[in-house]
Amino acid sequence: MPASAYDQQMLDTGDGHRLYLAQYGKPTAPAAVVLHGGPGSGTSPSVIEWFDLSRQRVVLFDQRGSGQSLPHGELVNNTSQRLVADIEHIRSHLGIDRWMVVGGSWGATLALLYAAQHADRIRGLILRGSFLASARELQWFFSIAARHGAARMGATHRGMEPGPAKRCAWYVMSGAAGQR
């Protein structure tokens, strides 16, 4: 049975967007934010399985124009810079001093952009399936991937067992990574 969010809300960005966000786990524990891929896809609560919710606080949110955020599909005021500002707005709004940032695919790119501007707000950074939007990656995505179909592209990710990621996330969040 999937975990239930202890908090769900719509956060106004002040420029025509409202972001859906949900919090899971232990409210007083070290926090992590998960940045979904896409852009445009929305978050999946299944990523909660990566975390030990008895020892972590996990924030999921749908980026501008994605998932349950409003207006859906909107591109006005929807730039990488504003997405980075949204992440920082969420952190501040929730009263989180520092957090681990977890990103996959487009979310990994966004995590790196956030880290470059707000390094002092990050406890750790976990990137998976990194998509850095380089010329080579864009060429692959729009030519080779298109020929082979998006359904097959995600097969490895969907089949990934959550156990190792869960352990990795706790290892970094607990500070054990710096205690070698």
Q: Is the pLDDT of residue 2 over 90?
A: no
Mean pLDDT in residue range 138-152: 61
Q: How confident is the model at residue 1 (pLDDT cuts 50, 70, 90)?
A: low
Question: In CATH terms, is domain 7-132+165-178 a member of 3.40.50.1820?
Answer: yes
Q: Is the pLDDT of residue 139 over 60?
A: yes
Tokens of 69: 């955020």
- pLDDT tens-place string over residues 64-118: 999 999 999 999 999 999 999 999 999 999 999 999 999 998 899 999 999 999 9
Distance CA 104, CA 1 (A): 24
- pLDDT tens-place string over residues 17-59: 999 999 999 999 999 999 999 877 899 989 999 999 999 999 9
pLDDT of amino acid 135: 81
